[in-house]
């Protein structure tokens, strides 16, 4: 069994939580997560959980969670079981270091989900400092790294040439996958292009860029925005002032999985317009591809977003200024049919649950063999 440590409370709805959930379902080890002491317990889980979950009660220090002394914390740190930490997270990095200091022979691996953007004005100095410290410490701490795409692996290999790095792309829960694969073959857009966005409405998601791209298109369109967040009211006001109330744009807020799947079943394309490499792999891209529609995302040097959903039927620059061009190409019915077929085929070949499981089984077996030598 392999114990996991992450900042978020699994299984949750975010990418890190979903990855930890799937790993635990296979590895069988406990999952420790940091939880603010004042956080109200929530017994409703969106995914079925078969493993042990342990919340490490913590005090909020600005944006950080400082774990309080507890039996759970001691059991995590003094356990001899292999430990797998999910980064980026300064809290997780510190606890991994403490665990390694207590048991120097303990096997510790990390899951590198994303780089933090270091472009001027894009990322706070604290994030940049933390990431560079992580670059220095990881060779002393981890014996292996798992990341989510070949693009991230190539970047990590430059930083950590002596550490084993495996690619394990994200996948979907089997039940979720089955529901989405049952959606019938899509009909090309006729009277309008139905575009979907699914995600947290925060500054880096750049739904405003998506609205601007749609506004510049000469053909009719409809936009469904699924998700909530600190920028929702601002985006709703921006949409009204930019487009006028007559345009067909709907903000659904946070919805159930069933409603989300219904939106995907009705949409022609999903767009993930994030503007930085902090978004390295969109689970919603997989949901769109499994449902049989293309997913568009931008290309950044340390992100795998563009790689996830890239298809030959729809070649484009993957740059924000060309988003309207890519969307307009979907009015070609033959191209659209090919794009839908390629998207679903790419999902089943690279990201399907069974493919993911076989890949994880291979990685786990190979690492176990190395540790026993």
pLDDT of residue 190: 87
pLDDT, tens digit, for every residue of 84-113? 999 999 999 999 999 999 999 999 999 999
Residue by residue, DSSP assigns 71-93 as HHHHHHHH--S-EEEEES-HHHH
Chain segment 114-162, per-residue pLDDT in tens: 998 877 666 678 888 999 999 999 999 999 999 999 999 999 999 999 9
Kindly state whether residues 288 and 185 are assigned to the same domain: yes
Q: DSSP labels for 215-261?
A: HT-SS-EEEEEEB--TTHHHHHHHHHHHH-TTS-EEEEES--HHHHH
Residues 137 and 222 in one domain: no
Considering only 6-10, 57-61, 68-72, which range has the smallest mean pLDDT? Answer: 6-10
Q: Tell me the CA distances in angstroms from 174 to 130, 178, 181, 277, one per residue in order.
A: 35, 6, 10, 28
Chain position carrying tokens 């998506």 = 210
Residue 73 CB neighbour total at 10 angstroms: 19
Preceding amide of 88 cis, omega within 30: yes
Same domain, 52 and 167: yes
Note the pLDDT of residue 10.
Answer: 60
Total of domains in the chain: 2
Asked if 105 and 226 sit in the same domain, the reply is no
Q: What's the confidence (pLDDT) of residue 301?
A: 86
What local confidence, expressed as pLDDT, does residue 246 receive?
A: 47
Mean pLDDT of the chain: 89
Give the three-class secondary structure for 370.
helix
Q: Which pLDDT value is given to residue 124?
A: 78
Distance CA 172, CA 176 (A): 6
3-state secondary structure of 286: helix
Q: Which pLDDT band holds residue 50 (cuts at 50, 70, 90)?
A: confident
Placement of tokens 């369109």 in the chain: 221
Residues 215 and 164 placed together within one structural domain of the fold: no
Instruction: Give the pLDDT of residue 37.
Output: 64
353 contact partners, CB below 8 Å, separation of at least 6: 171, 172, 173, 174, 177
**Distances, alpha carbon 357 to alpha carbons 4, 282, 351, in Å:** 18, 19, 10
Residues 238 and 301 in one domain: yes
For the residues 298-320, what does the mean pLDDT come to?
94
* 113 and 123 Cβ atoms separated by less than 8 Å: no
- Which residues form the domain of 187? 174-349
pLDDT (0 to 100) of residue 181: 95
Q: With b meaning 16 or more CB within 10 Å and e meaning fewer, what string describes 199-223?
A: bebeebbbbbbbbbbbeebeeebbb
* Residue 47: band (very low, low, confident or very high) from pLDDT cuts 50, 70, 90: low
Query: Poorest-confidence range of 146-155, 235-244, 256-265, 350-359?
Result: 235-244
Question: Are both 267 and 361 inside the same structural domain?
Answer: no
31 burial via Cβ count (<10 Å: 0-12, 13-18, 19+): buried
Is the pLDDT at 15 greater than 60, yes or no? yes
Q: What is the CATH number of the domain that holds 217?
A: 3.40.50.2000
pLDDT of residue 280: 86
Residues 167 and 18 in one domain: yes
47 and 153 share one domain: yes
Q: How confident is the model at residue 245 (pLDDT cuts 50, 70, 90)?
A: very low
Q: Are residues 327 and 195 in the same domain?
A: yes
Kindly state whether residues 68 and 151 are assigned to the same domain.
Answer: yes
pTM for the whole structure? 0.90
Residue 215, both tokens? 């506004």
320 secondary structure, DSSP code:
G
Q: Based on the fold, state whether residues 259 and 291 are members of the same structural domain.
A: yes
Is the confidence at residue 298, as pLDDT, over 90? yes
């Amino acid at each position: 069994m392999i114990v996991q440590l992450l900042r978020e409370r699994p299984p949750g709805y975010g990418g890190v939580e979903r990855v930890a959930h799937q790993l635990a379902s296979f590895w069988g080890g406990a999952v420790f997560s940091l939880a603010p002491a004042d956080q109200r317990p929530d017994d409703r889980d969106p995914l079925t959980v078969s493993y042990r979950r342990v919340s490490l009660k913590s005090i909020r220090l600005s944006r950080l969670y400082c774990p309080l002394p507890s039996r759970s914390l001691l059991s995590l740190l003094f356990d001899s079981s292999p430990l797998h930490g999910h980064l980026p997270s300064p809290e997780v990095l510190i606890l991994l270091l403490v665990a390694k200091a207590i048991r120097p022979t303990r096997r510790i691996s990390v899951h590198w989900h994303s780089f933090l953007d270091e472009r001027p004005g894009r990322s706070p100095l604290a994030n940049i400092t933390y990431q560079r410290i992580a670059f220095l410490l990881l060779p002393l701490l981890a014996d292996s790294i798992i990341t989510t795409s070949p693009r991230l692996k190539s970047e990590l290999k430059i930083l950590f040439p002596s550490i084993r790095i495996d690619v394990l792309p994200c996948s979907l829960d089997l039940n979720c996958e089955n529901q989405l694969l049952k959606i019938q073959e899509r009909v090309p857009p006729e009277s309008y292009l139905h575009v979907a966005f699914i995600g947290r409405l925060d500054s880096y998601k750049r739904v405003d860029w998506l609205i601007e791209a749609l506004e510049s298109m000469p053909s009719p369109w409809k936009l469904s925005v699924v998700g909530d967040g600190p920028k929702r009211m601002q985006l709703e006001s921006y949409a009204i002032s930019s487009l006028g109330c007559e345009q067909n744009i709907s903000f659904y807020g946070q919805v159930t999985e069933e409603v989300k799947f219904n939106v995907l079943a009705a949409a022609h394309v999903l767009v993930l317009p994030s503007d930085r490499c902090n978004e390295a792999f969109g689970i919603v891209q997989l949901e769109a591809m499994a449902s049989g529609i293309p997913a568009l995302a931008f290309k950044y040097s340390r992100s795998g977003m563009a790689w996830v959903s890239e298809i030959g039927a729809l070649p484009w620059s993957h740059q924000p200024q060309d988003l309207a061009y890519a969307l307009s190409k979907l009015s070609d019915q033959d191209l659209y049919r090919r794009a839908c077929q390629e998207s679903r085929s790419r999902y089943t070949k690279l990201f399907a649950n069974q493919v993911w499981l076989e890949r994880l089984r291979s990685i786990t077996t190979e690492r176990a063999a190395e540790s026993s030598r």
